[in-house]
Amino acid sequence: MAQAEIGAEQRASRIPRASAAALLRRGRSLAWIALTLALTLLGLMAVTFVVGRVVPIDPVIAVVGERASQAVYDAARIEMGLDDPVVVQFARYVMDVLRGDLGMSVTTQRPVMEDLARVFPATLEMATLGILIGVTLGVPMGVVAAARQGTLVDQVIRVLGLAGYAIPAFWIGLVGLVVFYASLGWVGGPGRIDFFLDGMVEPVTGLLLVDSLLAGDMESFGSAFSHIVLPATILGFFSLAYISRMTRSFMLEQLGQEYIVTARAKGAPERVVVWRHAFKPIRVQLVTVVGLSYAALLEGSVMIETVFSWPGIGNYLTNALLNADMNAVLGATLLIGVVFIAINKLSDLLYLIIDPRARS
């Protein structure tokens, strides 16, 4: 009767002890992640490449101008390699991208790579602060709402979340500026830093808060902070709306599980039932949700960046689009894609750490 089970137990017992096999398996899953990463990136480059070719903007005219003669036009076309077979062009594109060459921007007259290195940190800084606010407030709010389902607390949290969906970003941005900047003077106005401090801090990371701290320049830090706090809070509010909603529904599902009854049958206090037995299992799902919201913020909120004159990637991309600046558009698109993929892969790695079921 117990024979079969003992056999199974012995088999199971080898797994934690055979560390070499476990290491091999983990190495293999890391290699797998790296391989899929490379393939996804190649796919992404294929997409941007194709998009660059099908849009009705002639890159030759962009260079030579509309009034150039046919001979000049043809010469430029050959020089730009546009006569070569598509495969060769794509290979050249991939090599260029890998070397960090995204071409010149027509509008800024600078390499796109340099532009991105300047605008992306501005977005990164704001998005990171925003997601931190969204997670530290949104997750507890969702948990509390689920634990007190149907009560006044739950209703208030749900209305707040709904507001995050319904209120337009530019409206709340403008109202925020009017109230907290113009009337109360609690925060800085548009831009990343007060204009008389602009350019005082040597860019190292491109993140003003970090760079000013590295330089020990507390005045710049204070100014940068007062400028970022309002837009980041507004971004945080939007991600909070999504995160708290998802947390609430994940928690409700967990609270209906049998092991919650078990925890109560052991005499677990409500706090332990909610935060340990119900919350721990949903961390994996939350990683996905937070990763997605962070990625969304990193694409740059055009609305917020416009209202706050924030020199971020959203603003850059919009300008490039309006000026038919294809190199800039494709470069920014590629960067956003890479960020998206990176965050997804990071979530995959986090699963391996958090979820015991994914590990074995």
Partner 1 sequence: MSALIEVENLRVRFPGDHGPTDVVRGISFSLGRERLGIVGESGSGKSMTGRALMGLVPAPGRAIADRMVFDGIDLARLDERGFRRLRGARLSMVLQDPKFSLNPVIRIGEQIGEALAFHSRASRRERRRRVLDVLAAVRIDDPERVYRLFPHEVSGGMGQRVMIAMMVVLEPDVMIADEPTSALDVSVRAQVLEIMDDLVRRRGMGLVLISHDLEMVARWCDRVLVMYDGRIVEECAAGRLAEATHPYTKGLLASTPHLDDARELLPVLDRGALGASR
CB of residue 252 to partner 1, shortest distance in Å = 13
- Using CA atoms, how far apart are residues 98 and 105, in angstroms rounded to an integer? 18
DSSP one-letter code for 195? G
Cβ closer to partner 1: 240 or 263?
A: 263
Cβ 253 to partner 1 shortest distance, Å = 13
Q: Which residues bind partner 1 (CB under 8 A)?
A: 1-2, 4-6, 8-9, 12-13, 15-16, 257-259, 261-269, 272, 276-277, 280-281, 283, 355-357, 360
Shortest Cβ 248–partner 1 spacing (Å): 17
In whole angstroms, give the CA distance from residue 154 to residue 141.
9
**Smallest separation (angstroms) from partner 1 to the CB of 291:** 19
What Cα–Cα distance (Å) separates residue 149 from each residue in 155, 156, 274? Answer: 8, 11, 12
Name the residue nearer to partner 1 (CB basis): 39 or 261: 261
DSSP H or E segment with residue 91: helix 86-98
Q: How far is the CB of 23 from partner 1 (least distance, A)?
A: 18
Residue 177 is classified by DSSP as: I
Residue 233 in tokens: 């809070």
Three-state SS at 331: helix
Which one, of 317, 316, 257, lies nearest residue 282 by Cα?
Answer: 257
Nearer to partner 1 by Cβ, of 55 and 261: the residue is: 261
Residue 104 has phi, psi (to 5 degrees) of: -95, 145
Backbone angles phi, psi at 77, to 5 degrees: -60, -45
Tokens of 285: 């799902």
- CB-wise, 92 or 276, nearer to partner 1? 276
Sequence-distant contacts of 150-155: CB under 8 A, at least 24 apart: 154/248
Cβ atoms 245, 255 nearer than 8 A: no
Beta carbons of 176 and 230 less than 8 angstroms apart: yes
Q: With respect to partner 1, which residue has the nearer C-beta, 15 or 163?
A: 15
**CA atoms in the 13 A half-sphere facing the CB of 45:** 18
Of the pair 9, 84, the CB lying nearest partner 1 is at 9
Least distance between partner 1 and beta carbon 156 (Å)? 21
Give the nearer residue to partner 1 in terms of CB position, either 171 or 259.
Answer: 259
**How far is Cα 154 from Cα 148, in angstroms, rounded to an integer?**
6
The single-letter DSSP state of residue 107 is T
Question: Would you say 176 or 281 has its CB closer to partner 1?
Answer: 281
Q: Which is nearer to partner 1, 194 or 355 (CB)?
A: 355
CB of residue 265 to partner 1, shortest distance in Å:
4
Count the alpha carbons within 13 Å of 103 in the hemisphere toward its beta carbon. 21
Instruction: Quote the CA–CA distance of 256 and 109 in Å, as a whole number.
Output: 60
For the bound state, the minimum distance from the C-beta of residue 289 to partner 1, rounded and expressed in Å, comes to: 17
- Least CB distance to partner 1 at residue 8 (A): 5
